[in-house]
Structure 1
Amino acid sequence: MEAQKPPTLRHRLEAAALGGLLRLIRSLPVRFRYALAGRVGEWARFVDRRHARIAYQSLALRYGEEGAEEKVQEVFRELGHLVGEIPLLETLSLEGLQETVRTVEGREHLEAVAADPRGVLLLSAHAGNWELMGQILPQYGLSPLNGVYRPLDNPILEERLRAARGRHGVQPIDRRRASRQVMTALRRGETVAMLMDQHLRGTDRIPLPFLGEVARVPTTLARFAKKAGTPILPAFLVREAPERFRLVVLPPIEPDTFGDDEAGIRDLTAETVAAMEAGIALAPAQWFWVHRRWRSEPRELVAGMRPPPWSGAIRP
């Protein structure tokens, strides 16, 4: 493991501010907790103008400028709810985590891959609460579960998040040196979770339509699946009310049904993109629109593209 740089004053101030907010949120009843977290999220868009502008540009392109500012507000509110759910990661028991999931769609897909000795590549996106999902899925048989992730820039917050992820056995894999660990885990029949909806540098990428715009999409997941012969299971945890979620599991994608050449890799990658789009469409307001996913200029939509109906913004 690479030596971690010591925290700067900025890191300490950020960690102290977030820690104070989380202590306040944790002390409140659930409905008030979500109301405060959501309001803080809404206010944050006035401070973080850069990410608010990124979200506005993408949303206005898809849904039109009329109402785009309200959608940005809802996106930031849901990000506030996401932060307000961190105490759930740090305090809830396994039983408590399971009780937050009121509906499971596609349970048969979970049971099928859990019984498969080949292991599974869990595909998701930065939608809903992906961190909680990583804690919950091992209780449905996807255990051990390893999560490929990018470490946070703030080492204090990174240590806190690693501790929260590890409370119920989730093992982190640093994205910067993941290949060997991913293949080792799959060969042991374990689950490896990957979020593939963001712009990733330093990986093999191909242009594919994603949410209506052409994006450079990593082929990493498809190559792991082909090399290990491992099914890909798309899954998403959608927020429906304060501390109430819906787990949606889509049919597994079998890599053997795609060719072993580069055309097969492209087709398999396109299938994973379609699965992510289906997951994001469950609650578009809960996706990470603040990320600069599309890098080409000028921005334009693929002909005939229709955005998913806007939904997923909750009010406690």
Structure 2
Amino acid sequence: MASSRSRQIAPPPAARSFPLSLAHAFRSPPNSLELSAIHHHWLNRGFFYKAAFFLASRLPRQPLYWLAAGIGEVSRLFMRPAREGLETNLARIAGGDRAAIIRLSRATFRNYGTYLVDLARFQALSAADVERIFSALEGVEHFDEAVRRGRGIVVVTGHVGNWEL
């Protein structure tokens, strides 16, 4: 029996006729050298994070978002493994429309930059800032009532905003 590392997995029938190359999506998991290339890209350095956190604590949010979107665009060009993986995933939902895949890929990299701005800015917030931002809670009385009665409660929310926070 062949080892799982050498086993070839055939793509599903719908993917075989796909106009983009999806060969890398159906191969073995990445090895440590490939993972190293993903995690050790030029932006994944302490200097960039320190600079981002410094700027985020001193500049207005909107200019930071513009800067982050630009860095996201540049990052997309140079982060080939991440871009290819993303575009392979997007191809499954965007069909054969290469323009749509590229548009979604660019938007994803730009949005990720804004997520990092939010994360960096959040680190610089005071307790008063956090209170001001999160002070408009609705329905808290239902939670308080359940706690008062000693009852359990299930809280269900939508996924909105930055997942790193």
**Normalised TM-score (structure 1):** 0.32
Mapped partners of 1:74, 1:42: distance in 2: 8
Distance 1:231 1:46, change over 3 A: farther
Asked if residue 87 in structure 1 is aligned to residue 120 in structure 2, the reply is yes
Mapped partners of 2:60, 2:116: distance in 1: 16
Aligned-pair CA distance for 1:102: 9.4
Residue by residue, what CA displacement relative to the aligned partner does 1:113-170 show, whole Å, maximum 9, x if unpaired?
344339xxxxxxxxxxxxxxxxxxxxxxxxxxxxxxxxxxxxxxxxxxxxxxxxxxxx
Distance 1:230 1:102, change over 3 A: closer
The within-5 A match list for 1:91-106 is: 91-100=124-133
Mapped partners of 1:40, 1:92: distance in 2: 23
Q: Which of these residues, 100, 103, 115, is aligned with residue 70 of structure 1?
A: 103
Asked if residue 23 in structure 1 is aligned to residue 54 in structure 2, the reply is yes
CA contact (8 A) 2:146 2:153 kept: no
Aligned-pair CA distance for 1:81: 0.6
Which residue of 1 is the match for residue 147 of structure 2? 117
Percent same amino acid at aligned positions? 19
Aligned-pair CA distance for 1:55: 2.0
Mapped partners of 1:52, 1:95: distance in 2: 39
Distance 1:287 1:27, change over 3 A: closer
Give the partner amino acid of 1:54.
G
Mapped partners of 1:14, 1:78: distance in 2: 20
Q: Which has the higher helix share?
A: 2
Q: Which runs of 5+ in 2 are unaligned?
A: 1-39
Which residue of 1 is the match for residue 72 of structure 2? 41
Aligned-pair CA distance for 1:236: 4.1
**Structure possessing the higher radius of gyration over alpha carbons:** 2
The within-5 A match list for 1:160-309 is: 230-236=152-158, 238-239=160-161
Distance 1:24 1:88, change over 3 A: closer
Which residue of 2 is the match for residue 51 of structure 1? 82
Mapped partners of 2:141, 2:90: distance in 1: 37
CA contact (8 A) 1:25 1:36 kept: no
CA contact (8 A) 2:91 2:101 kept: yes
Mapped partners of 1:33, 1:237: distance in 2: 23
Distance 1:287 1:23, change over 3 A: closer
Mapped partners of 1:111, 1:53: distance in 2: 47
Distance 1:54 1:64, change over 3 A: same
CA contact (8 A) 2:83 2:105 kept: yes
Distance 1:235 1:14, change over 3 A: same
Distance 1:32 1:94, change over 3 A: same
Distance 1:60 1:116, change over 3 A: same
CA contact (8 A) 1:88 1:97 kept: no
**Aligned pairs, how many?**
119
Aligned-pair CA distance for 1:101: 5.6
Q: Secondary structure at 1:32's aligned position in 2? A: helix
Which residue of 2 is the match for residue 60 of structure 1? 91
RMSD: 3.4
Residue by residue, what CA displacement relative to the aligned partner does 1:18-57 show, whole Å, maximum 9, x if unpaired?
1123223433222111111122122222232222222222
Mapped partners of 1:79, 1:28: distance in 2: 19
